[in-house]
Structure 1
Amino acid sequence: MGRRRVKMVLAQAKDEVSKGDRPPLFLSWNEIDQAMDLLEAGLGGQQFDVIVGIARAGLVPAVMLAHRLGVRQFAVLEIRRTASDGINSAKRPPIVTGSFNASAILRKRVLLVDDIVGEGLTMKVARDWVQERAVSVSTCCIVVNKANLPHTNIGLAVDHWGCLVHRWVRFPWERRDWREEL
């Protein structure tokens, strides 16, 4: 399955401009699974020693990829960026606020995972932190919100991704009462 298939699945998000007044795109578990298929295929059989999930939202896709890729070593990197879980929540500069099992990444090949990349700042901070400790780092996410990227080259923000959208996204593992925000 190619990237074109997920673009069809996510057709409602195609070519939209994120202006803050648009409702979020609600992704289903089926759409997540399709994007994960593309993400896994895009990794092209690369070998990783450790998967690092960016807490909170990156933990679900990180665990999914760990199972798909057969990687048993797992670590967590906590980074604070948004003030709340609200749509287009105020952002602050991302900072690493904690880690779990960080010794597992020392001199290892690491796959760094988050749910979504917008501006790319969280992923950059995480990549820099991991690069200081690991032999190599590849980054990935399920979704890239291209409307928020400050440049047109997605590869500057993340190495691998499942699909592109142009607006705020809500994932199926997030709170169910966010629909009340609309």
Structure 2
Amino acid sequence: MATPLTHAADRPTYLTWDDIGAATQALAEQVTAAGVPQAVVGIVRGGMIPAVWLAHRLGIRDVRTVEVTHTTSDGINAAKTTLPTARNAASLGDLMGLDVLLVDDIAGSGATLAYTADMIRGLGPARVRTAVLTVNRANWVQEAEPHRVIDYTVSLKDTWIVFPWEGQHGR
């Protein structure tokens, strides 16, 4: 379970749509440098918007979704479940032999991204790469540093991140 942030400096960071546009452009540039994937998979819900923006920026029409959750609610510092859970793995379809880019909005502990990437690898793609807009280092629990686990990311933050699609701006 994540420890609630308590310091004044640890107040949430609120991102704007302009921030998201700039971040997806930066991710697209990073991804393109290593070759354009054949399919983009967004982790529902938060990863869908950046996945679609990235797909447009990369010129990819094959966009898929999978619902994987690792929190008990959507609130700031929501409690974590013991393990991530997939609810619609069949929605991934046939990924055999494809170069796949897995996208989420944020990596907190890193568990959801790792779990989902392993699930996709089990479907036989030629390559699986991961991308997130930001990493919340305050919740990171993986042994390796984020840049060693995630292929592409734009920022590392030490606070909770609130995205514009979450409807929590101004609260």
Q: Normalising by structure 1, what TM-score?
A: 0.82
Kept in 1, the 8 Å contact 2:65–2:92? The answer is yes
Deviations 1:8-58 (A, max 9, x none): xxxxxxxxxx95123211001111122222212211151211100001110
Kept in 2, the 8 Å contact 1:123–1:157? The answer is no
Is 2:86 aligned against 1:96? yes
Is 2:136 aligned against 1:145? yes
- 5+ residue gaps, structure 2, are none
Classify the secondary structure of the residue corresponding to 2:89: strand
Count of aligned residue pairs for this structure pair: 162
Aligned to 2:116: 126
Q: CA 1:118–1:157 in 2, change beyond 3 Å: closer, same or farther?
A: farther
CA distance in structure 2 between the aligned counterparts of 1:170 and 1:119, rounded to whole angstroms: 16
Is 2:48 aligned against 1:59? yes
Aligned to 1:40: 28
Aligned to 2:63: 74
Matching residue's letter, 1:69: L
Is 2:163 aligned against 1:163? no
- 5+ residue gaps, structure 1, are 1-17
CA distance in structure 2 between the aligned counterparts of 1:55 and 1:106, rounded to whole angstroms: 21
CA distance in structure 2 between the aligned counterparts of 1:118 and 1:63, rounded to whole angstroms: 21
Identity %: 34
CA distance in structure 1 between the aligned counterparts of 2:112 and 2:52, rounded to whole angstroms: 19
Deviations 1:114-158 (A, max 9, x none): 000111000010000001111110000011112222246113431
Q: Normalising by structure 2, what TM-score?
A: 0.87
CA RMSD of aligned residues (A): 1.8
Matching residue's letter, 1:130: I
Q: CA 1:152–1:99 in 2, change beyond 3 Å: closer, same or farther?
A: closer
CA distance in structure 2 between the aligned counterparts of 1:175 and 1:30, rounded to whole angstroms: 16
Classify the secondary structure of the residue corresponding to 1:173: helix
